[in-house]
Amino acid sequence: MPPRDAPTARQARLGSELRRMRERAGRTAREAGALLGTDQAKISMMEAGRRGVSEERVRRLAAFYACEDAALVDALCGITHEHRGQFWWDAYRGALPPSHLDVAELEHHATRLRSVQMLLVPGIFQTPDYARAIFGSGTPATELEARVELRTSRAAVLDRQNPPPYEVIIHEAALRMRYGGRQVARAQLERLLEASEKPSVDVRVIPFAVEEMSGHAQSMLYAAGAVPRLDTVQIDTPFGGGFVDTEPQLKKYNGLIDALEDVALDTKESRDMVRRVAREM
């Protein structure tokens, strides 16, 4: 099987966790290759997510590396059974940049989600018109509708029988931005209010009046994995998202979200503010 040109974020994470496991054990890629009857180059491609690995090989490697974290090993083995074409977002593969699909994948597999947005309503809550206004500038016409469809389809994770808890921290600035005009912006706030009524969703607003907010706050999505070691932070940028998954970085981002949560309005006050801003549109 030829190497993958563009591994998914989950495939890349499986590889990077195997590399970290090997490095903690003080083993070389050459030794891992000898164990599996392959060469160092193929181990390197496997650890980069560019070559698949079976559950049996993951368990052999974990035993070789003396990894005693059974929950982590089981979670990594679960990833080995995932394949392209298995999930709804795979229909957009090749038509959209992989980073867009990776966010849908991240949300789908998360056990808990925490989002911070400073200037936008979180993507998972966006209406088609709002998303179209966001993507409209600089997006190729051939991609625009596919991006809108993918973004709005992500909301299905909130309608599952057991959806992941979703905590949203959104700045008042995001509520007042009029992407697409007053009517589009008002409809978007109404959609946000509707979503906030779901038992699994908690929307919290940081008003302009707050003076203690960290100046380093940025838009992000924190997705808890099946085990804490597989937590991931997706950083939002105008040119696509990046992923953070090292333990020290995860700790810092979790702490930042906690600090923002401390200064945000409570759930009822936040809904009241969203309603008030919508009336003012």
Tell me the per-residue pLDDT of 137-188, one tens digit each, with 9 for 90 and over: 778 888 899 999 999 999 999 999 999 999 999 999 999 999 999 999 999 9
**To 10 degrees, what angle do helices 55-64 and 9-25 make?**
20
Nearest of 208, 224, 203 to residue 121 by alpha carbon? 203
Tell me the per-residue pLDDT of 6-59, one tens digit each, with 9 for 90 and over: 788 999 999 999 999 999 999 999 999 999 999 999 999 999 999 999 999 999
Average pLDDT over residues 56-78: 97
- Chain-centre distance for alpha carbon 264: 22
Q: How many CB atoms lie within 10 A of CB 279?
A: 9
- Chain-centre distance for alpha carbon 155: 13
Q: How far apart are CA 273 and CA 271, in angstroms?
A: 5
Task: Set out the domains of the chain in order of their start, with CATH numbers.
Answer: 9-80 (1.10.260.40), 88-280 (3.30.870.10)
Specify the residue for token string 């469809």: 149
Average pLDDT over residues 250-269: 94
DSSP letter at 156?
G
What does pTM read for this prediction? 0.92
Tokens of 263: 């200064």
Nearest of 56, 35, 62, 32 to residue 45 by alpha carbon? 32
User: Is 65 in contact with 3 (CB distance < 8 Å)?
Assistant: no
Tell me what pLDDT residue 2 has: 61
pLDDT at residue 281 is higher than 80: yes
Average pLDDT over residues 248-270: 94
User: Order of strands, edge to edge, in the sheet holding 220-224?
Assistant: 201-206, 166-171, 112-117, 220-224, 232-235, 242-244
Tell me the per-residue pLDDT of 197-243, one tens digit each, with 9 for 90 and over: 999 999 999 999 998 776 566 789 999 999 999 999 998 766 656 89
Tell me what pLDDT residue 161 has: 93
Residue 206 phi/psi, 5° resolution? -100, 110
